[in-house]
């Protein structure tokens, strides 16, 4: 959602109906007939404040006798707000409950997400059998500074959902430390998307607005083992079916992108800089759920919150229904022998998309050239290393801050390895305006000698190591500028395929 995001205030039509959708809002996005009592529904204006959210969680054991809640203070945001997680269990948990991560408001202007998260927690706890089978780690407001000011970015101006590989935002460092320790088996990250976009004015005679209540970003990153990608897709299908039972319309996430002046659609996602893929690379079933909402004020608030919770509940139920199967999939994914894919084929085809046509105030569909991440195929693959060995001297403050290497084992090595020699390098700018370096490397055999940090493929998050170390990949340490390089030189880390010393 980087390209040309602008609210179209002028389209915020007329009439008695509130919100930019005006009169057709009630037609296409009617509220469900349910009663919701999370904090936003206790008032007529605004959204839940962080204080109200924390209070809601702390009062859960009083309000629902089936609930056990442990607040965990992860630390403070740059503006001094607490980042809080809540460990939520049923009162009589099974021995090894399915570990489920639930997160909201990583983007601070996606203001219905904390209530979606709370509504989901409530639905889980209202079903004692389900609640006892799972353990939830809930971060209802991942970006409290942005949330307090209804801003997408963090207080330091960072898009935290583009920073999942660099982890230079303190919020992400605090959150990911707990994430890594918790080792979720399912991870849900709730977002809202902007249904009026400047590029949508180019479609139809007077522009269009989004038709879908919820869009799923699973992950089609080919470095996620196929067995896990298939499981992620099966969870999306299950959640879409659950949403449809309430009349909520869902679709795989799509967004316009500029293809030399004409619009095409990007369908799905694969970027490890964003949670959906990043969390899946930690070996779990991961989904980012986008709900139609940014810029909508409180219009259709009940529908937004309820649809998030219904979708989240489908994930929790599916995981709890068969933990043996889920764990078999995760284990198979972890042991998958495939090495890292460093080049892809990206087929383009034509697809039809439905929108609400603002001239007709009705649905209409258009065809667009589409780059579907689910169709991407591996073209160049390297073998799977036993481990990567990072020269200790290469540890800069930025690398240490990222938190990836804090608990890694150090080893003295003297053996053969593959070095990465840079053959091409071009500079650019990244999503958070950081300097990036796009490189091509060739692997050359070399002898490594000295003290190294060992990053083993046996460790979780195994597949994330591919994305960090294979230098050509879009979110590698090199690409993100966390490791400097120049043409003709070798990178300060190595792939070890056989350990010999």
Omega prior to 41 cis, within 30 of 0: no
CB of 294 to Zn ion, least distance (A): 8
8 Å CB contact between 389 and 494? yes
Residues near 249 by beta carbon (within 8 Å), at least 6 away in sequence: 211, 212, 213, 214, 243
Q: What angle do CA 126, 129, 131 make, to 5 degrees?
A: 60
Rounded to the nearest 10 degrees, what angle do helices 113-125 and 301-321 cross at?
40
CB of 159 to Zn ion, least distance (A): 9
Q: Which residue is nearest to Zn ion (CB)?
A: 191
Residue among 483, 412, 408 nearest 448 (CA): 412
Measured from the CB atom, the residue of 191 and 303 that comes closer to Zn ion is 191
CB of 113 to Zn ion, least distance (A): 8
- Specify the DSSP class assigned to residue 164: T
Rounded to the nearest 10 degrees, what angle do helices 226-244 and 323-335 cross at?
150
CB of 94 to Zn ion, least distance (A): 33
Query: Reduced to 3 states, what is the DSSP secondary structure of residue 453?
Result: strand
CB of 437 to Zn ion, least distance (A): 27
b/e map 106-122, b = 16+ CB within 10 Å: bbbbbbbbbbbbbbbbb
Question: Beta strand 490-496 with 387-391: parallel, antiparallel or unpaired?
Answer: antiparallel
CB of 31 to Zn ion, least distance (A): 23
Measured from the CB atom, the residue of 74 and 288 that comes closer to Zn ion is 288
State which H helix or E strand residue 451 sits in.
Answer: strand 435-456
CB of 366 to Zn ion, least distance (A): 25
Measured from the CB atom, the residue of 2 and 352 that comes closer to Zn ion is 2
Residue 307 tokens read as 């649809």
Measured from the CB atom, the residue of 162 and 191 that comes closer to Zn ion is 191
CB of 288 to Zn ion, least distance (A): 8
CB of 199 to Zn ion, least distance (A): 17
Question: Beta strand 262-267 with 362-372: parallel, antiparallel or unpaired?
Answer: parallel
8 Å CB contact between 145 and 79? yes
Question: CA–CA separation, 183 vs 99, rounded Å?
Answer: 7
Measured from the CB atom, the residue of 160 and 356 that comes closer to Zn ion is 160
CB of 10 to Zn ion, least distance (A): 24
Q: How many residues does the chain have?
A: 501
Query: Reduced to 3 states, what is the DSSP secondary structure of residue 24?
Result: helix
Question: Beta strand 348-357 with 208-210: parallel, antiparallel or unpaired?
Answer: antiparallel
Residues that bind Zn ion (CB under 5 A): 107, 110, 191
Measured from the CB atom, the residue of 191 and 371 that comes closer to Zn ion is 191
Measured from the CB atom, the residue of 60 and 300 that comes closer to Zn ion is 300
Measured from the CB atom, the residue of 145 and 231 that comes closer to Zn ion is 145
Residue 49 tokens read as 């404040």
Question: CA–CA separation, 175 vs 156, rounded Å?
Answer: 16
Measured from the CB atom, the residue of 99 and 107 that comes closer to Zn ion is 107
Measured from the CB atom, the residue of 269 and 402 that comes closer to Zn ion is 269
């Amino acid at each position: 959602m980087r390209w040309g995001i602008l609210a179209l205030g002028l389209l915020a039509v007329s009439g008695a109906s509130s919100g930019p959708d005006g009169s057709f809002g009630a037609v296409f996005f009617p509220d469900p007939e349910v009663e919701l009592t999370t904090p936003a529904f206790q008032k007529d204006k605004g959204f839940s404040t962080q204080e109200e959210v924390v209070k809601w969680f702390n009062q859960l054991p009083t309000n629902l006798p089936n609930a056990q809640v442990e607040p965990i203070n992860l630390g403070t945001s740059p503006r001094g707000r607490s980042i809080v997680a809540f460990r939520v269990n049923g009162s009589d948990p099974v021995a090894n409950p399915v570990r489920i991560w639930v997160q909201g408001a990583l983007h601070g202007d996606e203001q219905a997400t904390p209530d979606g998260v709370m509504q989901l927690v409530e639905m889980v706890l209202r079903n004692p059998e389900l609640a006892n089978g799972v353990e939830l780690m809930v971060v209802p407001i991942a970006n409290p500074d942005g949330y307090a000011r209804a801003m997408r970015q963090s207080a330091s101006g960072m898009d935290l959902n583009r920073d999942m590989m660099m982890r230079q935002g303190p919020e992400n460092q605090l959150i990911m430390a707990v994430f890594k320790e918790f080792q979720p088996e399912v991870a849900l990250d709730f977002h809202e998307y902007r249904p009026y976009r400047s590029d949508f004015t180019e479609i139809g005679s007077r522009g269009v607005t989004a038709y879908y209540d919820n869009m799923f970003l699973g992950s089609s990153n080919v470095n996620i083992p196929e067995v896990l990608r298939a499981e992620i897709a099966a969870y999306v299908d299950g959640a879409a079916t659950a949403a449809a039972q309430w009349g909520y319309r869902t679709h795989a996430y799509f967004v316009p992108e500029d293809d030399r002046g004409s619009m095409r659609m990007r369908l799905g996602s694969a970027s490890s800089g964003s949670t959906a893929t990043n969390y899946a690379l930690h070996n779990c079933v991961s989904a980012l759920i986008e709900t139609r909402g940014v810029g909508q004020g409180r219009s259709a608030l009940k529908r937004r919150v309820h649809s998030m919770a219904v979708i989240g509940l489908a994930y929790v139920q599916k995981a709890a229904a068969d933990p043996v199967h889920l764990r078999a999939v995760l284990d198979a994914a972890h042991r998958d022998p495939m090495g890292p894919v460093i080049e892809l084929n990206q087929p383009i085809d034509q697809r039809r998309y439905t929108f609400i046509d603002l001239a007709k105030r009705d649905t209409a569909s258009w065809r667009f050239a589409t780059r579907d991440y689910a169709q991407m195929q591996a073209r160049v693959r390297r073998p799977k290393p036993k481990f990567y060995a990072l020269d200790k001297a290469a540890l800069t403050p930025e690398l240490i801050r990222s938190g990836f290497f804090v608990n890694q084992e150090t080893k003295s090595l003297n053996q053969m390895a593959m070095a990465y020699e840079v053959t091409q390098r071009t500079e650019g700018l990244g999503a958070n305006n950081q300097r990036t370096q796009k490189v091509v490397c060739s692997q050359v055999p070399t002898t490594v000698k000295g003290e190294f940090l060992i990053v083993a493929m046996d460790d979780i998050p195994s597949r994330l190591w591919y994305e960090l170390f294979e230098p050509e990949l879009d979110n590698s340490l090199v690409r993100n500028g966390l490791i400097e390089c120049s043409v003709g030189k070798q990178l300060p880390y190595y792939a070890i395929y056989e350990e010999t010393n």
